[in-house]
């Protein structure tokens, strides 16, 4: 009889199977309903109306290129426009949506998009900063809050996440991504998509994500914006493609093609990329939009006139044309000339309409824009509170000699630097709806956190830059930098006098928000010279010098590392910048961020990344050596390696313990370390797991990140941190691009950053 009583496990499995079947039946049902709806709608559409759906325009304001679109309102009524971006606000969006829904022949709603990159109204740290949190709950929540604010203002589509892997900090858009690592970038990509899209894109607080830029934009040669990308397939699959795939697997509804060429073919007309890889290999079912006038720019890449490149793009799998109106103005002609087929136009139109359906836009789109929500859900106290928390978690303590930080909540501070008493620079690059006036300056933050207990003396000390070329180009969109009229010497002298009266100097320096992001490549990635001169003068006073660094990329900080007492990397922290910085400076929060992109010693080392190959003549790192893979004039090591970041406390790692010395097949390896807080403060530590595969059928990276855990430890507390490792952690793309693992020896490495690990070896057979 006993044999016939199902175990609890069996019952649960059966329930799960029913649930899965039910869910997949539901999904199938939904897909059928969508198909019927869209097919019926398309049967009523004229060719012009179908082509209109492929047209995405701005409302006359240039964002990241020239203004091309005009007469938008009347053309919406004619059905020549499928989507609009660049406007937000419940009333404005509702007004435009009304034109489509009430006045166009078939009442097809528009899709409204925007570059919501790191928050919408409440601004969070720049994405590179967010990635330094190593906290996927925070990452997801940041996207969710952004979606909530964006939908309250009528938007249903965001041009985010940007998941381009970047190993070259000269490239300004490294600020918009999650750094250099494919595995870590994939975790962030997933969390962002989940945060934006929620459990269903029809939820009133959910938007559709647009994964960008497909693909490999971060591989631009020499870090120069929009530059050529030429890359081996193995590198592509192993190191650059995983985050796009992870975002797709998380359900991302749309992709944006990138500006660059991929092995000779511009991404926007690259059939291999947009169809063979994205749709056939990976199974993407959503739609692909071009980047801003990227279709028109294919002519500059040398592939022909607008009609020719529009044909190429449609055939390659591009569904929507951003701003350039190449599809709108040429596809009908191309159809008449037999250069494209109606099926190809239908396919693109269907994908755009399906996206609108998935967003619930056909269901009373104008009614879904609720002005009350705009009042209730935007820039709320809770959102600001979250912005403060995520900013604190994003900061990375790069140096802290003799425990200069945290500062005492008494005495006198000299607060200096062009970013110390500044609102407009707090938000960082790519902020469309964020209001700099609502941001907290560092000066105000310090007052909020320590009140009158600390005497704060202020001197600006320097302009952001005195370099006329850098200044003019970086501030081109602001009509130039607003500068203090005094000479650099006068400003420095005042700062030095101020420093002499204080116990400690806090210098808030670095890049302007305009120096990173799109079209902001730099060949010299030091702090601008005017501010370096200020730092040198301050260092000479002999007072402890704390640098609070603003930066949209890894900078070369060799001088600062040698001469400052402490360096806190604050990136660009967002709306709550000053409060978050003050919380950390005065020890209300103990920093735990870790960098996700390597900081080089010099631009000459770029590209520099931790998961590089060994070479046939690796340099041991010791002494002068001839015929080794090194430089004559600098070490191979970065200044700060991937995964690096200090705490106000210290952590001690034990050796790595493995539960078995050898494994077979699908067995699970358990690797354990104990981590002890050996300092005086409670703190969080990101315990990182790397694996290396010393012998394989191709040359492998020296190590690869495979997992991490963030643990909180009280002073004196010890915790065991265990990782389960399976054969999927050992897989890689071999020479035939087959993703598999190969038996042999593996080195398990666990530590506080990519360079400082404890290791143990294991044998794994098939
Ligand atoms: C950028 C995209 C952005 C688009 C729309 C382009 O210049 O590359 O990231 O989404 O403009 O603003």
Query: Which of 56, 60, 64 is the pocket-test mutation for ligand 1 (most atoms within 8 Å of CB)?
Result: 64
Predicted pLDDT at 629: 97
pLDDT, tens only, 573-587: 999 999 999 999 999
Residue 259 CA to ligand 1 center (angstroms) comes to 9
Cβ of 176 less than 6 Å from ligand 1: no
Range in 106-115, 472-481, 640-649 the model is least confident about: 472-481
pTM of the model: 0.96
Cβ of 245 less than 6 Å from ligand 1: no
Residue 580 CA to ligand 1 center (angstroms) comes to 29
**Any domain includes 595:** yes
The closest residue, in CA terms, to atom 10 on ligand 1 is: 159
**Any domain includes 676:** yes
Query: Are residues 188 and 295 located together in one domain of the fold?
Result: yes
Range in 15-29, 272-286, 303-317, 484-498 the model is least confident about: 15-29
> 671: domain range?
651-765
Query: Are residues 460 and 362 located together in one domain of the fold?
Result: no
Token pair listed for 330: 């040429």
**Any domain includes 237:** yes
Predicted pLDDT at 367: 64
Cβ of 64 less than 6 Å from ligand 1: yes
Residue 255 CA to ligand 1 center (angstroms) comes to 12
The closest residue, in CA terms, to atom 7 on ligand 1 is: 64
Query: Are residues 418 and 354 located together in one domain of the fold?
Result: no
- Residue 290 has, within 13 A of its CA and on its CB side, a CA count of 36
Residue 596 CA to ligand 1 center (angstroms) comes to 23
Residue 214 CA to ligand 1 center (angstroms) comes to 12
Predicted pLDDT at 480: 84
Query: Are residues 362 and 408 located together in one domain of the fold?
Result: no
Question: How far apart, in Å, are the Cα atoms of 346 and each of 276, 314, 459?
Answer: 19, 11, 63
Mean residue pLDDT of the chain comes to: 95
Query: Are residues 369 and 393 located together in one domain of the fold?
Result: no
pLDDT of residue 210 exceeding 50: yes
Query: Are residues 725 and 600 located together in one domain of the fold?
Result: no
Bond preceding residue 287 cis, omega within 30 of 0: no
pLDDT, tens only, 354-398: 999 999 999 976 566 888 999 999 999 999 999 999 999 999 999
Buried b (16+ CB within 10 A) or exposed e, 643-654: bbbbbbbebebe
Single out the residue in 327, 353, 374 at which a domain terminates. 374
pLDDT of residue 6 exceeding 80: no
Residue 291 CA to ligand 1 center (angstroms) comes to 6
Cβ of 630 less than 6 Å from ligand 1: no
pLDDT of residue 61 exceeding 50: yes
Q: What is the dihedral of CA 377, 380, 382, 384, to 10 degrees?
A: 130
Single out the residue in 374, 400, 416 at which a domain terminates. 374
Name the pLDDT band for 527 (thresholds 50, 70, 90): very high
Number of domains in the chain: 3
Query: Which of 85, 127, 158, 159 is the pocket-test mutation for ligand 1 (most atoms within 8 Å of CB)?
Result: 159
Single out the residue in 578, 605, 632 at which a domain terminates. 605
pLDDT, tens only, 741-750: 999 999 999 9
Query: Which of 518, 519, 520 is the pocket-test mutation for ligand 1 (most atoms within 8 Å of CB)?
Result: 518
Residue 368 CA to ligand 1 center (angstroms) comes to 26
The closest residue, in CA terms, to atom 8 on ligand 1 is: 291
How much of the chain, in percent, has pLDDT values that exceed 90?
92
Cβ of 173 less than 6 Å from ligand 1: no
The closest residue, in CA terms, to atom 6 on ligand 1 is: 292
Give one DSSP letter per residue of 397-465, joined into a string.
Answer: EEEEGGG-PSPPSSSEEEEESTTTT-STTSS-SS-SS--GGGSPPHHHHHHHHHGGGSEEEEE--S-S-
pLDDT of residue 276 exceeding 80: yes
Cβ of 693 less than 6 Å from ligand 1: no
**Any domain includes 619:** no
pLDDT of residue 12 exceeding 60: no
**Atom of ligand 1 at shortest range from CA of 64:** 7
**Any domain includes 144:** yes
**Any domain includes 642:** no
Cβ of 50 less than 6 Å from ligand 1: no
Query: Are residues 366 and 391 located together in one domain of the fold?
Result: no
Predicted pLDDT at 67: 62
Mean pLDDT of 667-684: 98
pLDDT of residue 150 exceeding 60: yes
Cα distance between residue 303 and residue 318, in whole Å: 16
CATH number, position 478:
3.40.50.1700
Cβ of 63 less than 6 Å from ligand 1: yes
pLDDT, tens only, 710-765: 999 999 999 999 999 999 999 999 999 999 999 999 999 999 999 999 999 999 99
**Atom of ligand 1 at shortest range from CA of 322:** 5
pLDDT, tens only, 545-558: 999 999 999 999 99
Residues forming the active site: 291
pLDDT of residue 1 exceeding 50: no
Mean pLDDT of 74-89: 96
Query: Are residues 368 and 441 located together in one domain of the fold?
Result: no
Buried b (16+ CB within 10 A) or exposed e, 414-436: bbbbbbbbbbbbbbbbbbebbeb
**Atom of ligand 1 at shortest range from CA of 259:** 8
Give the chain's radius of gyration (CA, Å).
27
Residue 169 CA to ligand 1 center (angstroms) comes to 19
How much of the chain, in percent, has pLDDT values that exceed 70?
95
Predicted pLDDT at 4: 46
- CA 568 from chain centre, in angstroms, equals 20
Cβ of 212 less than 6 Å from ligand 1: yes
Query: Are residues 178 and 78 located together in one domain of the fold?
Result: yes
Predicted pLDDT at 112: 97
**Any domain includes 213:** yes
Query: Are residues 312 and 389 located together in one domain of the fold?
Result: no
Predicted pLDDT at 484: 96
Query: Are residues 663 and 736 located together in one domain of the fold?
Result: yes
Whether the Cβ atoms of residue 545 and residue 560 lie closer than 8 Å to each other: no
- Residue 585 has, within 13 A of its CA and on its CB side, a CA count of 32
């Amino acid at each position: 009889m006993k044999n016939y009583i199902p175990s609890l496990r069996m019952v649960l499995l059966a329930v799960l199977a029913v649930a899965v079947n039910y869910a997949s039946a539901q999904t199938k049902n939904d897909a059928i309903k969508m198909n019927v709806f869209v097919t019926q709608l398309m049967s009523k559409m004229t060719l012009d109306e179908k082509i209109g759906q492929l047209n995405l325009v701005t409302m006359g304001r240039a964002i990241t290129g020239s203004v091309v679109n005009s007469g938008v309102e009347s053309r919406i009524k004619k059905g020549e426009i499928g989507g609009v971006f660049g406007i937000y606000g419940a009333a404005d969006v509702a007004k435009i949506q009304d034109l489509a829904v009430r006045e166009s022949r078939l009442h097809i709603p528009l899709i409204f998009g925007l570059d919501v990159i790191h928050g919408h109204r409440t601004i969070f740290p720049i994405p590179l900063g967010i990635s330094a949190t190593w906290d996927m709950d925070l990452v997801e929540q940041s996207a969710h809050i952004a979606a909530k604010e964006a939908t309250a203002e009528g938007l249903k589509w965001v041009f985010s996440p940007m998941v381009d892997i970047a190993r070259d900090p000269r490239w300004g858009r490294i600020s918009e991504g999650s750094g250099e690592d494919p595995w870590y970038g994939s975790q962030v990509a997933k969390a962002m998509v989940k945060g934006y899209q929620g459990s269903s894109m029809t939820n009133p607080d959910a938007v559709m994500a647009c994964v960008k830029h497909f693909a490999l934009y971060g591989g631009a040669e020499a870090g120069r914006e929009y530059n050529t990308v030429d890359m081996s397939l193995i590198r592509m699959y192993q190191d650059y493609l995983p985050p796009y795939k992870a975002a797709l697997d998380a359900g991302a509804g749309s992709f944006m093609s990138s500006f660059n060429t991929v092995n000779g073919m511009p991404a926007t007309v690259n059939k291999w990329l947009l169809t063979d890889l994205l749709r056939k290999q990976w199974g993407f079912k959503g739609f692909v939009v071009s980047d801003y006038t990227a279709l028109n720019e294919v002519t500059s890449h040398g592939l022909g006139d607008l009609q020719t490149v529009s044909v190429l793009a449609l055939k390659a799998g591009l569904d929507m044309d951003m701003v350039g109106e190449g599809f709108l103005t040429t596809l009908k002609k191309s159809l008449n000339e037999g250069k494209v087929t109606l099926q190809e136009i239908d396919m693109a139109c269907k994908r755009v309409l399906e996206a609108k359906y998935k967003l619930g836009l056909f269901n009373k789109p104008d009614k879904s824009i609720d002005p009350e929500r705009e009042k209730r859900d935007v820039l709320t106290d809770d959102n600001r509170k979250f912005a403060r928390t995520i900013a604190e978690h994003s900061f990375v303590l790069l140096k802290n000699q003799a425990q200069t930080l945290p500062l005492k909540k008494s005495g006198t501070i000299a607060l200096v630097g062009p970013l110390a008493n500044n609102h407009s620079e707090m938000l960082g690059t790519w902020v469309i709806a964020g209001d700099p006036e609502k941001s907290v300056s560092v000066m105000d933050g310090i007052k909020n956190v320590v009140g009158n207990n600390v005497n704060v003396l202020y001197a600006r000390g320097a302009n952001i830059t005195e370099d006329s070329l850098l200044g003019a180009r970086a501030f081109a969109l602001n009509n130039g930098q607003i500068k203090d009229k005094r000479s650099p010497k006068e400003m420095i002298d005042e700062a030095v006098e101020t420093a002499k009266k204080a116990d400690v100097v806090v210098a808030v320096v670095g890049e302007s928000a305009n120096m990173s992001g799109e079209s902001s490549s730099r060949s010299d990635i030091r702090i601008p010279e005017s501010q370096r001169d200020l730092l040198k003068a301050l260092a000479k006073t002999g007072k402890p010098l704390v640098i609070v660094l603003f930066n949209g990329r890894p900078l070369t900080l060799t001088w600062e590392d040698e001469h400052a007492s402490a360096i806190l990397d604050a990136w660009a922290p967002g709306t709550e910048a000053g409060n978050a910085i003050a919380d950390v400076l005065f020890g209300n929060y103990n920093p735990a961020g870790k960098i996700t992109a390597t900081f080089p010693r010099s631009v000459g080392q770029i590209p520099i990344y931790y998961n590089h190959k060994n070479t046939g003549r690796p340099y041991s790192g010791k002494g002068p050596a001839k015929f080794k893979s090194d430089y004559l004039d600098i070490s191979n090591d970065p200044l700060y390696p991937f995964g690096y970041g200090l705490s106000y406390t210290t952590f001690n790692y034990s050796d790595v313990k493995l539960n078995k010395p050898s494994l077979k097949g699908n067995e699970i390896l358990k690797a354990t370390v104990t981590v002890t807080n050996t300092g005086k403060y409670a703190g969080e530590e990101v315990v990182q797991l790397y694996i290396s595969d010393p012998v394989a059928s191709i040359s492998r990276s020296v190590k690869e990140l495979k997992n991490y855990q963030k643990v909180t430890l009280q002073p004196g507390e010890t915790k065991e941190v265990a990782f389960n490792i399976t054969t999927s952690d050992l897989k890689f793309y071999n020479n035939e691009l087959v993703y598999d693992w190969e038996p042999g020896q593996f080195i398990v490495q666990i530590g506080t950053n990519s360079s400082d690990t404890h290791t143990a070896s294991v044998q794994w057979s098939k």
